[in-house]
Chain A
Amino acid sequence: MSEEEKKEPQESGTAEAGEQAKQKTAEAEADPEKAAKLKAAAEARAARAAAKAAAEAAEAAEASAPPAPSPKQPELDAAAALIRREVADEALEEVYINELNGHMPTIIVKNDYWRSIAELLKIENDLTYLRNVSGVDYETHLEVVYHLVSLQSGRELTVKVKADREKPEVSSATPVWATANWNEREIYDLLGIVFTGHPDLRRIMMPDDWVGHPLRKDYEPLDSEV
């Protein structure tokens, strides 16, 4: 089921609800008790809506106050400074803290500098353990997410590299962390991102002669009736 199909029932749902409301008012005029009940219900709804609006206003007020600085911010700044100093100033596209994920420092890097940044992070920053490589298909672009951790200090870092949808290419991290080998093969297989510099880039899960990349959002399955 694609996303468009799912949106339609929601819209028709609201349309139906509107019609049902009209029906109810017609009935109410006929029956005074029911009219009283409906009035009470309408008042309750109005009260809830008012309360909700008040809550949202309070939240907005809270949000406009500056948030407390994250405890991992100094780590992130140190890493960002290191990269800017050793590699290039424009190597980093974005630097932020992912609050949902326990304040995980996250950086988005440009693909041209990714290989040198990887080596830098492994050697200078002691991020020797690459725990996970994921590929994500945002409909406008593809992205590869690397989760790194330092076993000695427990420091973590998430690195994202963006890739173009038409010709997705990302420098491979396999020469730096050997564990990236199969992870990148899996992403190549299922999402179609080509990892330049990978020693053995071929399909791993799907059969070797499969056409298409199944995890992409626009993938047409062979048996689409199912």
Chain B
Amino acid sequence: MIRTEELLLNVGPQHPSTHGVFRIVVKLDGEVITEATPVMGYLHRGTEKLAEQLNYTQIIPYTDRMDYVSAMTNNYVLVHAVETMMGLEVPERAEFMRLIVMELQRVASHLVWWGTYLLDIGAMSPFLYAFRDRETIINLFNELCGARLTYNYMRVGGVKWDAPPGWIDKVSEFIPYMEGKLREYDKLVSGNEIFLARIKGIGKYDAATAIDYGLSGANLRCTGVDWDLRKAEPYSLYSRFEFDVPLGQNGDCYDRYRIRLEEISQSLRILKQAIAQFPSGGETMGKVPRAIRPPAGEVYTRIESPRGEIGCHIVSKGKAEPYRLKFRRPSFVNLQILPKLLIGETMTNLITILGGVDIVVGEVDC
């Protein structure tokens, strides 16, 4: 008697391609996925609960560990929220430093994504090239604040450390180097027939679905919706700089790939302008009261992290600790579309689609 059964397969939590501790339970009919259920929480560390007992400066290291690939933007969303609540003014030099590190972080995060995405698809070498270039950025950060991955760099009212002498010159040397490398990577990968066949037309969705699912970042812009918080709701000094927001048209993995690569070159463009306008002197910390006590009330601020919109909702009762601190994490929200996209796909495409969403599990679980 021959009968066909549906196969229940666990992808993860230990798996080379799930980018962290994350599990997808798939029901397979042969090679085709009929249902996919993500299971998360393996990396849930209770950051929001812990934050209720720590004062704002103490929470900053915790933010580093949420989206550990892009820690500077996490730092920023928290201090920006507190500064908005308290109406604090940040000195110009500090704001420039913040912008420069955030854009460098964006380049580094997209390089990690690029390398690991190609590794999942099967090409071994771009991973090493991406990480070699990321090393330069990480070394810059190391010089600046002493840490390679979790920086704890920003403070309410400014930044902790000023740029060491020669640091800004090193950043400006990095920019043309990286631009040249981007052209190389484009030639190596983006025209490769095998790669294009793997990526084009996979994981398509349209703009209405994207908006309904609250997607942000490249996942939203690949459908053609022009929504980049750096332009739509400008924060920090972004309104002073000229840059384009790359948009896609088809909403497939290839568009997301192209957008992220283009975002790297736009970040380099912003960095060039920022370094040209960098103030020669200035304070790194503004006038901040010794005890940081935002007035009672609530605030929700959001910035554009490399993964999308990261937001920080603080409810304060006037004390030094927040009454409730919630982070709106882009990877968590972006991941919701995965079960819908996977129905009818094969297992191989699962990896391609999951990589294209660009999640960091530390952020999914918080």
Interface residues of A (CB under 8 A from B): 1, 98-102, 104, 128-132, 134-137, 145, 147, 151, 154, 158, 177-179, 181-183, 186, 190, 203-207, 214-215
Q: Which residue of B lies closest to A130 (CB)?
A: B214
Give CA–CA (A147, B302) in the complex, Å. 11
Q: A138 → chain B, closest Cβ, in Å?
A: 8
Known: A131-B328, A136-B324, A154-B232. Contact between A100 and B227, CB under 8 A? Answer: no
B44 within 8 A of partner (CB): yes
Known: A101-B299, A137-B324, A205-B44. Contact between A145 and B84, CB under 8 A? Answer: no
Between A and B, how many residue pairs show CB distances below 8 Å?
Answer: 98
Give CA–CA (A98, B332) in the complex, Å. 27
Known: A1-B53, A129-B214, A132-B311. Contact between A214 and B324, CB under 8 A? Answer: no
Those of B299-339 within 8 Å (CB) of chain A? 299-302, 309, 311, 313, 315, 323-324, 326, 328, 332-333, 335-336
B49 within 8 A of partner (CB): yes
Q: Which residues of B contact A134 (CB under 8 A)?
A: 300, 313, 324, 326, 328
B46 within 8 A of partner (CB): yes
Given A134-B300, A136-B324, 5 extra CB contacts under 8 A:
A100-B294, A101-B299, A131-B302, A134-B326, A215-B49
Q: Are B44 and A206 in contact (CB under 8 A)?
A: yes
Those of B40-63 within 8 Å (CB) of chain A? 40-41, 44, 46, 48-49, 53
Q: Which residues of A contact B216 (CB under 8 A)?
A: 131
Q: Are B225 and A177 in contact (CB under 8 A)?
A: no
Q: Which residue of A lies closest to B326 (CB)?
A: A134
Q: Which residues of A contact B300 (CB under 8 A)?
A: 101, 104, 132, 134, 145, 147, 158
B5 within 8 A of partner (CB): no
Give CA–CA (A214, B44) in the complex, Å. 12
Q: Which residues of B contact A181 (CB under 8 A)?
A: 336
Q: Would you list 7 pairs from A and B whose C-beta atoms are within 8 A, ordered by A residue?
A: A100-B294, A100-B298, A104-B300, A136-B324, A177-B212, A205-B366, A214-B49
Give CA–CA (A1, B323) in the complex, Å. 14
Please tell me which one of the listed residues B227, B294, B298, B328 contacts residue A98 in the complex, with CB atoms under 8 A apart. B298
Known: A136-B324, A137-B324. Contact between A206 and B214, CB under 8 A? Answer: no
Give CA–CA (A12, B49) in the complex, Å. 27
Give CA–CA (A86, B326) in the complex, Å. 32
Q: Which residues of B contact A205 (CB under 8 A)?
A: 40-41, 44, 365-366
Best-surrounded residue of A99, A179, A206 (most CB of chain B within 10 A): A179
Those of B333-366 within 8 Å (CB) of chain A? 333, 335-336, 365-366
Q: Which residue of A lies closest to B208 (CB)?
A: A128
